[in-house]
Amino acid sequence: MVFENPLLLGAIGAGLAVGIAGLGSGIGAGIAGASGAGVIAEDPSKFGTAIVFQALPQTQGLYGFLVAILILFVFKSAPEWAMLGAGIATGLAGLSAIGQGIASSAGLGAVAEDDKIFGKAMVFSVLPETQAIYGLLVAILLLVGVFGNSPGAAAIAALGAGLAVGFAGLSGIGQGITAAGAIGATARDPDAMGKGLVLAVMPETFAIFGLLIAILIMLGMMF
Amino acid sequence: MRPARMRKLRAVILDEKMDNVVRELHEEGLIELCDLTPKLEDPEWADLLSPSTPAPYIRDVSALLIKTNRFLDLFDSVKSKDEKGLKELLNPTLPPKKRITFSSADEIISYGRSLLEKVETDVKELADRLNELEGRINYLQQLRRYIEYLIDLDIDLEYVKSGPYTYVVVGLVPEDKISQLKERIFSTTDNLSEVIEGEPVITSENERKVAVILVTLKEYRDSVSGELRRSGFERIDVSNLKGTPKENLEEIDREIRECKGEKENILDRLREMANKWYKELLVLHELLEIEKERAESYTYYGRTERTYMLEGWVPEKYVDRVKATIERASQGYGVVEIVEPDEPEEKIPVMLDNPKPVKPFEMLTEMFAPPKYNEVDPTMLIVPGFLMFYGIMLTDTVYGLLLTILGLFVWKKLGKVSEGAYNIGYILTLAGIATVIAGIITGGYLGDFLKQFLGFDIYKTPLALVNPLGDSLYIGESNPLFNLGSVSINNGPIAILLFSIVVGIIHLFIGLVIGFKENLEKKGFKEAFLNQGIWLFLIIALAVGVITNTPCLIGGAVVVVILLCMVKGYMSGGILDAALGAMDITGFLGNVLSYARLLALCLATGGLAMAVNIMAKLLGESIPVVGILLAVIMLLIGHTFNFVMNGLGAFIHSLRLHYVEFFGQFYEGGGKKFCPFKAKREYTTVS
């Protein structure tokens, strides 16, 4: 194979997983945190709520960390290109945290005005996490060895699967913006929840395309 | 599976008996009153009825309410901070309820008057004195600040007064204007004046100012005043003071101390009074609020010369009770009519009516939107799916136990005083149990804690069915579950993924069947088939195709479905919509794939728990002595964090699967919640 030490590509994958996902989570948590600071300035008792909303965009960073640990400690025998693909998938999809941060900050603003909307704001804020979950999903599938027996260079296709779901995961940013708008609409009219969800789920279509292509690539490798 | 059926109740009641009827209905709390005012705009109704005004006792009640609030505010302001210990916070007790036997507003008004009188005689003098003292302390503190500025001027303030021929003022001037001011004054007064300056001081507004005493002849008073105004002079009134500023400061400090001492004394006595009266005032406050609500309810009724007419919604199962109540309370001087709902669906209030074990889950339905009157109430359907998804996503026996304990605590302790906490606690308890079951199946005990620290690999024993991160005794490389086409289900993640997708398809299928039935009843077969039937067909074809292993059947079904979607799009809006319709299948695919999050989150919990264990082990092994301590801290913090993050995540993602994927097939919501005319009693009881 290209590299003698299989963990070399794995290490790059682990780094990308933590690094890119951490970038997304950092920006997302920053956006949510700025809104949180504003809310706390008005009402210090909202500290707990602010923390919860700021925690949402941090999960992407955790997924990145998780995949890094999986690559380095658990699936050490997985094909090296799969490791790199898994890292890229989780890392890029983790950028959806930026969108989640936007949605969370809108959610926090709405909850600061009206406590009762907490549950609804939470549901909307968690929508842009789907992309990160798809990234994590593909990473796991790659690592558990759907490529186990593929010969040589064909395994590089794993990179394609990772890129597909990873870049498609950037749709999370758009979804976050829609979700933030839908939170505003729901705060004004609670009955808008159902329709707001339909609109906010729309950008997810592209994440599904990405996931689909990733799965097709993986299936193609197996047959 | 539908919200409670409603009936419209109309009653005409003799005016003498009306108050009694209102009272009894309010205590019973089973009817939602309708406002008749819009109806009275109809000339036909207006001939029969005229609008009614609030009951006459509302004025007395409101006046007493204001007074009660004033005393409550006073007591609130003096009460020492209620030391609500941690114990009380964690295990709140309900306030004792006082039994009430009043039977009319007048009785409550006269009781309120006499109670407030008693409170007033006890409190009035103290409250007045407290006000006075607070005013005095404020004045003294203000004065003290000014005199502090004059401290450099060592002059007996008694002499700083205008005499028969002289004009004397004391005050502060901004430092930068002092020399200019002096010049001006000397020139306007022909040098017949004297200005004494102190050292510059920094005032409370953070400006540098200088204290000055200005002496001049009386006839220059007006021109000097003008100059002073122009330079921003701030006058200090010392006309009642004697002695030097220093002596005055001591005097003022002594007086402030005295006033504060007396104030403490009064506050103590007010606190005593608060202990004596506070609870009774709370009771009175509640009684008055209830009376006020009753009095105001009269604006909802219509009236004739000698009768009132009321209209309201009553759940069908309570109709007989409410009817009997009205007949009893009006002693027969009332006519009750009960009719089927005669208004459009959206005007009929919605009361969810589920058996007790499911009732707390209504919270989840209402968080989305209460159903419309003629819609399915999805609460029952949420319960099994929600608990199962929650269990799969958290999947850890120890986390599940923790959650069960937490849920029980919230349900049994905090739930006593808060309905929201009761519901959440109940849901979390059940979710915790589901998590324990899922945890045992997947062999998760704080992740792989057993293997890392005790060297016990549960997946090599028959104790765990499936390993989310690899092979187990039952499902593994050497022992595949079965082969699906050419894909071998030979490890944990793939098995769980397959399970998630199958569960998702079944879940969607249930939603689609309900939606199909609903549409069939309301809009006919065509709508039902186009909206739900297509997908039902696809799912059935998929199942048959997989079982009989005929991929071409599935392929054919997909083509048929795409064509049908295009037809549907064409029917709703022409060629463009037909093209868009072809994309509908990706939406369906998205719904199914969305359930794959069950695997991802299931693995995330176990994986992060494992990461915590690995880090703790590294810490413990690489650092001597303190390493073990650090490892324990790492375990505690790490697992708590993982538990909270994934516990929250499992809850919301479970909800999402219901709100987006499941409800999308059949549920819209948007009904108006049933809001009964009911007395809120927290401190009182009538039974």
Q: By CA distance, what is A194's nearest residue in B?
A: B668
8-state DSSP, B95: P
Whether the pLDDT of residue A148 is over 60: the answer is no
Alpha carbon of A117: minimum distance to chain B alpha carbons (Å): 8
B637 touches chain A (CB under 8 A): no
Domains defined for chain A, CATH in brackets = 6-222 (1.20.120.610)
Q: Establish how many alpha carbons lie within 13 A of residue B602's alpha carbon, considering only the half-sphere containing its beta carbon.
A: 32
User: Which of A72, A104, A118, A126 would you mutate first to test chain B, the one with the most B CBs within 10 A?
Assistant: A126
Whether the pLDDT of residue B87 is over 70: the answer is yes
Partners of B483 on chain A (C-beta within 8 Å) are none
Q: How far apart are CA B228 and CA B184, in angstroms?
A: 10
Alpha carbon of A152: minimum distance to chain B alpha carbons (Å): 20
The mean pLDDT of B582-607, rounded to a whole number, is 87
Q: What integer pLDDT is reported at residue A19 of this predicted model?
A: 96
Q: Which H or E run includes B484?
A: strand B483-484
A66/B604 Cβ within 8 A: yes
pLDDT level of residue B85 (50, 70, 90 thresholds):
low
Q: What integer pLDDT is reported at residue A15 of this predicted model?
A: 94
User: Which of A52, A56, A67, A69 would you mutate first to test chain B, the one with the most B CBs within 10 A?
Assistant: A69
Question: Which tens digits make up the pLDDT trace of B305-332?
Answer: 899 999 999 999 999 999 999 999 999 8
B161-237 domain in CATH 3.30.1300.10? no
In this structure, of A49-53, B32-36, B583-587, the range with the lowest mean pLDDT score is B583-587
CA distances from B638 to A26, A63, B601, B646, B652 (A): 20, 15, 17, 12, 21
Closest to B586 (Cβ–Cβ): which among A70, A208, A219?
Answer: A208
Residues 327-386 of B with CB under 8 A from A: 367-369
The mean pLDDT of A172-179, rounded to a whole number, is 94
8-state DSSP, B81: P
Comparing A135 with B88, the larger pLDDT belongs to A135
Residue B481 burial (C-beta neighbours within 10 Å; 0-12, 13-18, 19+)? middle
Give the ipTM of the model, two decimals please: 0.83
CA distances from A198 to A58, A178, B245, B352, B629 (A): 25, 10, 75, 25, 50
The amino acid at B448:
D
Question: Which tens digits make up the pLDDT trace of B374-397?
Answer: 899 999 999 999 999 999 999 999
Q: Which fold has domain B6-52+301-350?
A: Alpha-Beta Plaits (3.30.70)
B616 touches chain A (CB under 8 A): no
Alpha carbon of A13: minimum distance to chain B alpha carbons (Å): 17
Question: Which tens digits make up the pLDDT trace of B536-575?
Answer: 999 999 999 888 888 888 889 989 998 888 888 888 877 8
Residues B125-156 as b/e (b if ≥16 CB within 10 A, e otherwise) read ebbebbeebeebbeebeebbebbbbbbebeee
In this structure, of A63-67, A139-143, B245-249, the range with the lowest mean pLDDT score is B245-249
**In this structure, are residues B486 and B463 in contact, taking their beta carbons and an 8 Å threshold?**
no
B656 touches chain A (CB under 8 A): yes
First-residue to last-residue Cα distance in chain A = 22
Partners of A123 on chain B (C-beta within 8 Å) are 367, 652, 655-656, 659
Partners of B614 on chain A (C-beta within 8 Å) are 69, 73
- CA Rg, chain A, in Å? 19
Alpha carbon of A1: minimum distance to chain B alpha carbons (Å): 25
3 state DSSP class of B173: strand
Q: What integer pLDDT is reported at residue A1 of this predicted model?
A: 41
The amino acid at B682:
E
In this structure, of A40-54, A117-131, B172-186, B473-487, the range with the lowest mean pLDDT score is B473-487
Question: Which tens digits make up the pLDDT trace of A179-221?
Answer: 999 999 999 988 788 888 888 888 888 888 898 888 888 876 6
pLDDT level of residue B93 (50, 70, 90 thresholds):
confident
In this structure, of B80-89, B220-229, B535-544, B643-652, the range with the lowest mean pLDDT score is B80-89
B653/A55 Cβ within 8 A: no
The mean pLDDT of A133-137, rounded to a whole number, is 90
Q: What integer pLDDT is reported at residue B469 of this predicted model?
A: 78
- Alpha helices per DSSP H over B395-491: 397-412, 419-442, 449-454
Residues 6+ apart with CB under 8 A from B584: B562, B565, B568, B569
Q: What share of chain B is helix, strand, coil (3-state, %, to 5)?
A: 65, 10, 25
Q: By CA distance, what is B364's nearest residue in A?
A: A119
Alpha carbon of B535: minimum distance to chain A alpha carbons (Å): 18
Whether the pLDDT of residue B94 is over 60: the answer is yes
pLDDT level of residue A53 (50, 70, 90 thresholds):
very high
User: Which of A141, A144, A199, A212 would you mutate first to test chain B, the one with the most B CBs within 10 A?
Assistant: A144
Whether the pLDDT of residue A21 is over 50: the answer is yes
SS3 per residue for A130-149: HHHHHHHHHHHHHHCCCCCC
A193/B369 Cβ within 8 A: yes
In this structure, of B296-300, B424-428, B475-479, the range with the lowest mean pLDDT score is B475-479
Q: What integer pLDDT is reported at residue B225 of this predicted model?
A: 83
Whether the pLDDT of residue A175 is over 90: the answer is yes
Partners of A69 on chain B (C-beta within 8 Å) are 607, 610-611, 614
pLDDT level of residue B464 (50, 70, 90 thresholds):
confident
Closest to A66 (Cβ–Cβ): which among B589, B607, B670?
Answer: B607
Q: Say yes or no: do domains B6-52+301-350 and B161-237 share a fold.
A: yes
Q: By CA distance, what is B471's nearest residue in A?
A: A144
A198 touches chain B (CB under 8 A): yes
The amino acid at A199:
L
Whether the pLDDT of residue B68 is over 60: the answer is yes
A140/B603 Cβ within 8 A: yes
Whether the pLDDT of residue A139 is over 50: the answer is yes
Partners of B653 on chain A (C-beta within 8 Å) are 126, 129
Q: At residue B386, what are phi and psi to the nearest 5 degrees?
A: -60, -50
In this structure, of B12-21, B33-42, B153-162, B343-352, the range with the lowest mean pLDDT score is B153-162
3 state DSSP class of B479: strand
B369/A194 Cβ within 8 A: yes
Whats the size of chain B, residue-wise?
687
The mean pLDDT of B510-515, rounded to a whole number, is 94
Whether the pLDDT of residue B606 is over 70: the answer is yes
Alpha carbon of B624: minimum distance to chain A alpha carbons (Å): 23
Q: How far apart are CA B458 and CA B463, in angstroms?
A: 6
| Token reading at B454 | 């005790």
Mean confidence (pLDDT) of chain B: 87
Residues 438-477 of B with CB under 8 A from A: 469-470
B599/A137 Cβ within 8 A: yes
Alpha carbon of B542: minimum distance to chain A alpha carbons (Å): 18
| Token reading at B142 | 């203000």
Q: What integer pLDDT is reported at residue A145 of this predicted model?
A: 66
Q: How far apart are CA A91 and CA A132, in angstroms?
A: 9
Q: What integer pLDDT is reported at residue A3 of this predicted model?
A: 46
Give whichever of B338-342, B512-516, B582-586 has the largest mean pLDDT: B512-516
Domain ranges of chain B: 6-52+301-350, 161-237
A59/B599 Cβ within 8 A: no
Residues 6+ apart with CB under 8 A from B529: B516
Q: In what order do the strands lie in the sheet with B193-202?
A: B193-202, B208-217, B166-174, B234-235
In this structure, of B65-69, B236-240, B541-545, the range with the lowest mean pLDDT score is B236-240
Closest to B589 (Cβ–Cβ): which among A65, A197, A208?
Answer: A208
Percentage of residues of chain B with pLDDT beyond 70:
98
Question: Which tens digits make up the pLDDT trace of B631-672?
Answer: 999 999 999 999 998 898 899 899 999 998 999 899 988 888
SS3 per residue for B249-313: HHHHHHHHHHHHHHHHHHHHHHHHHHHHHHHHHHHHHHHHHHHHHHHHHHHHCEECCCEEEEEEE
Whether the pLDDT of residue A149 is over 60: the answer is no
A134/B649 Cβ within 8 A: no
Whether the pLDDT of residue B410 is over 90: the answer is yes
Comparing B549 with B298, the larger pLDDT belongs to B298
Whether the pLDDT of residue B175 is over 90: the answer is no
Q: At residue B538, what are phi and psi to the nearest 5 degrees?
A: -60, -45
Partners of A140 on chain B (C-beta within 8 Å) are 493, 599-600, 603
Partners of B587 on chain A (C-beta within 8 Å) are 205
Partners of A59 on chain B (C-beta within 8 Å) are 645, 649
Q: How far apart are CA B420 and CA B422, in angstroms?
A: 5
Residue B86 burial (C-beta neighbours within 10 Å; 0-12, 13-18, 19+)? exposed
Closest to B669 (Cβ–Cβ): which among A59, A194, A212?
Answer: A194
Whether the pLDDT of residue A38 is over 60: the answer is yes
Q: What integer pLDDT is reported at residue B486 of this predicted model?
A: 62
Question: Which tens digits make up the pLDDT trace of B119-141?
Answer: 888 888 888 888 899 999 998 88
Whether the pLDDT of residue B82 is over 80: the answer is no
